[in-house]
């Protein structure tokens, strides 16, 4: 009888342990499924949380209005081509964009133009989905044209990874813009490395090596921009581009070895929109061309942006 009771107790303990494990496993699977669902539906989103570090937290509120001015060159044109549409799709009610453009303009040229009040720029503006242009414009005109929420700065691709240029001109340019506009938030646009077979005349400065160029650009952002309290944060457009190059798309994101193609422009604008507003790329439905950018390419873009916001100065392998 005692033996029978002992066997019964043992069997009861085994059954109880099995049920407990099954319950824990079920809870674990449910948690994993909920996390995967959140990632796929865009419930986890990149926003600035502390001292230029990026983490994932839910978006609380999309701004009702955004006015963004870029002081740049053709690379800011690439980044802003689809920005109005993406911000509007994200739920921003009023979007006003300005792009102060001078081809190949670097920090030293911006400084020179501003100090001499030279009307050297073409001023592009977008208030409703279409770009207008104003030739022979000075920087002061563009700065005063709107009550800008954000002003972005960047370096020319030629010297985007050369510390000597930042050492000499970066702080001066930030100072100048801050003095001319004391209310806007200053943001840095981190641009991209050239295509690996680019024939750009400045590529030899980077040993004609794409990863070396990316690393040098990232180093300059880390050593100058991230240490500067006058600049709120940087947009890792160049990192998103480099991430996408690890996907099935490969090194085919430019039209000429350095300017972005349609997919690249969409990717850059998506990075800008997500970094500035905190919206998830998975919540953006806008596609500039369904025939040119298919669902697989959209998946590459979204993942590349999420990874760039999580690791803004490092390349992350894309799963697609």
Please give the model's pTM, rounded to 2 decimal places: 0.83
Average pLDDT, the chain: 87
Query: Is-contact 83 314, C-beta < 8 A?
Result: no
CATH topology for 47-310 is Rossmann fold (3.40.50)
Q: Check pLDDT > 60 for residue 207.
A: yes
- Whether residue 113 contacts residue 299, with contact meaning beta carbons closer than 8 Å, is answered with no
More confident residue, 223 or 27: 223
- Where along the chain do its domains lie? 1-41, 47-310
The rounded distance, in Å, linking the Cα atoms of 304 and 270 is: 10
For residue range 16-64, what is the model confidence (pLDDT) as tens digits?
A: 443 444 434 343 333 333 333 333 333 333 333 334 444 434 455 899 9
Q: Above pLDDT 70, what percent of the chain?
A: 81
- The three-state DSSP-derived secondary structure of 30-92 is HHHHHHHHHHHHCCCEEEEEECCEEEEECCCCCCCEEEEEEEECHHHHHHHCCHHHHHHHHCC
pLDDT at 149 over 90: yes
The pLDDT of residue 3 is above 90: no
Q: Tens digit of pLDDT for each residue in 163-199?
A: 999 999 999 999 999 999 999 999 999 999 999 999 9
> Three-state SS for 254?
strand
The model's pLDDT over 288-301, given as tens digits with 9 standing for 90+, comes to: 999 999 999 999 99
- Specify the pLDDT at position 61: 86
- From the centroid of its chain, how far is CA 211? 18
For the chain, give the percent of residues with pLDDT over 90: 81
């Amino acid at each position: 009888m005692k033996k029978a009771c002992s066997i019964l107790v043992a069997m009861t303990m085994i059954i109880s342990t099995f049920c407990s494990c099954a319950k824990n496993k079920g809870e674990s699977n449910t948690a994993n499924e909920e996390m995967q669902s959140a990632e796929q539906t865009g419930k986890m989103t990149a926003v600035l949380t502390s001292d230029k570090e990026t983490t994932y937290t839910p978006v609380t509120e999309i701004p009702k209005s955004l006015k963004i001015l870029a002081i740049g060159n053709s690379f800011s044109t690439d980044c802003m081509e689809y920005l109005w549409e993406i911000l509007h799709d994200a739920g921003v009610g009023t979007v006003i964009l300005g792009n102060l453009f001078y081809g190949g303009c670097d920090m030293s040229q911006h400084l020179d133009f501003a100090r001499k009040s030279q009307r050297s720029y073409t001023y592009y503006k977008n208030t409703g989905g279409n770009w207008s242009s104003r030739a022979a414009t000075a920087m002061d005109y563009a700065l005063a044209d709107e009550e800008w929420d954000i002003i972005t700065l960047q370096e020319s691709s030629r010297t985007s990874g050369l510390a000597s240029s930042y050492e000499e001109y970066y702080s001066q340019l930030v100072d100048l813009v801050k003095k001319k506009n004391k209310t806007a938030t200053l943001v840095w646009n981190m641009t991209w490395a050239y295509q690996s077979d680019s024939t750009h005349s400045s590529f030899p400065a980077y040993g004609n090596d794409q990863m070396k160029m990316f690393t040098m650009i990232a180093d300059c952002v880390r050593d100058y921009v991230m240490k500067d309290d006058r600049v709120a944060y940087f947009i890792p457009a160049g990192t998103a581009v480099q991430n996408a190059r690890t996907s099935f798309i490969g090194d085919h994101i430019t039209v000429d070895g350095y300017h972005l193609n349609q997919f690249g422009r969409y990717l850059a604008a998506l990075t800008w929109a997500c970094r500035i507003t905190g919206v998830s790329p998975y919540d953006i439905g806008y596609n500039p061309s369904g025939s040119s950018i298919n669902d697989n390419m959209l998946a590459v873009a979204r993942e590349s942006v999420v990874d760039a916001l999580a690791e803004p100065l490092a390349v992350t392998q894309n799963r697609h």
